[in-house]
Amino acid sequence: MARSTHPNAVVPDAPPGGGASGQSVVANLLVSLRPGQWPKNLLLFAGLGFGQKLFSPVEIERAAAAFVVFCALSGTVYLINDVVDRESDRRHPLKARRPIASGALSPAVAVAAAVAIAAAALAVAFWLGTPFGLVAVAYVALLALYSFRLKHVVIMDVLTISIGFVLRAVAGAVVVAVPISHWLLVCTVLLALFLALAKRRHELVLLADGAAEHRPILGEYSPYLLDQMIGVVTASTLIAYIFYTFSPETVQKFHTEMLGLTIPFPLYGIFRYLYLVHRKEGGGSPAEMLLTDRPLLACVALWAALVVLVIYRPFAPLGAG
């Protein structure tokens, strides 16, 4: 059966979100938890790396446990979000395939699973430490508020997503008990805002005239407006990262001025992402783009490797030369 390209069309011949009504409840639950989105939680390891505890076995275990906790929590947020949006998702050419929207997974089962998984994850979070547990609660509360209200408020919708990434970064620092640079928090919120705006642009272009019908908030945006916002955020992100690498605080902390060598990678990565958004109609899933686009994946991997090399094996001592 041919697939319709009309923005309001459901794609009947595709497995719903990778699952199907013939699959077990567990399989459809797993699909709805969206494990493909879990790479977003790798941000929790930023505190480990930039906190200079990358080779501490105890801290690695704590960061890994925090990563699992946030994968579980983000999965429960996706479950609740899919339950809330199931009617509008059925009119979306891609989201209609999701188990809840397609009817392969009962909303009642999804909600029950979300509550159980969230309770277990939060219990582990508080076991790792009260500060980390409080950040985890704040993350769930913020994203729940997003699902029920803030996703319908223009500009606040993308800002909320960005703050969710900041909470991930904060959680990663808190769980290994290291301070996190204000510069890194600024870079995180700006980069997350860049990704969120690019995703809105992708949705707007994909759904065309049916965008506002699927999600009313999309009617408040236009590709031109989003391009203007993306331009501002792109420049701000790169400038903030450049200032971070050369700031006296950073040089003093890592005892090297060589972190500036990493600047070309964010430059290329952001420009590559913009190329995929504008020329390849990407941007709908940042995690998927990272994992499937080899140049982008190589860029991130090389950036991470160089950051580790500079921080843990500086080329020159502070004040040398």
Give residue-wise pLDDT tens across range 207-233.
776 666 667 788 888 889 999 999 999
Q: For residue 10, what pLDDT band results from cuts at 50, 70 and 90?
A: very low
16-30, 100-114, 146-160: least confidently modelled range: 16-30
7-16, 120-129, 166-175, 275-284: least confidently modelled range: 7-16
Cα separation, 130 vs 110, in Å, equals: 28
Q: What is the pTM of this model?
A: 0.83
Cα separation, 246 vs 269, in Å, equals: 20
Tokens 């945006």 belong to which residue? Answer: 221
- Phi, then psi, of 8 in degrees rounded to 5: -100, 5
| Inter-helix orientation angle 57-84/156-175, to 10° | 150
Q: For residue 274, what pLDDT band results from cuts at 50, 70 and 90?
A: very high
Is residue 300 within 8 Å of 310, Cβ to Cβ? no
Cα separation, 105 vs 98, in Å, equals: 9
Topology (CATH level 3) of domain 23-157: Tetracycline Repressor; domain 2 (1.10.357)
Is residue 219 within 8 Å of 211, Cβ to Cβ? yes
Domain boundaries, the chain: 23-157, 181-315
Instruction: Write down the pLDDT at residue 35.
Output: 86
Instruction: Write down the pLDDT at residue 65.
Output: 96
Contacting residues for 305 by C-beta, under 8 A, at least 6 apart: none
What pLDDT, in 10s, does the model give residues 96-122?
888 888 888 888 998 999 999 999 999
Mean pLDDT score, 133-158: 92
SS3 5: coil
Dihedral angle computed from the Cα positions of residues 117, 65, 44 and 82, in that order, rounded to the nearest 10 degrees: -10
281 φψ region: left (φ > 0), alpha (ψ -120 to 50), beta (else): left
Q: For residue 6, what pLDDT band results from cuts at 50, 70 and 90?
A: very low
Higher pLDDT, 202 or 244: 244
Separation in Å, CA 244 to CA 143, 250, 314, 319: 28, 7, 17, 18
Instruction: Write down the pLDDT at residue 319.
Output: 43
73-77, 202-206, 269-273: least confidently modelled range: 202-206
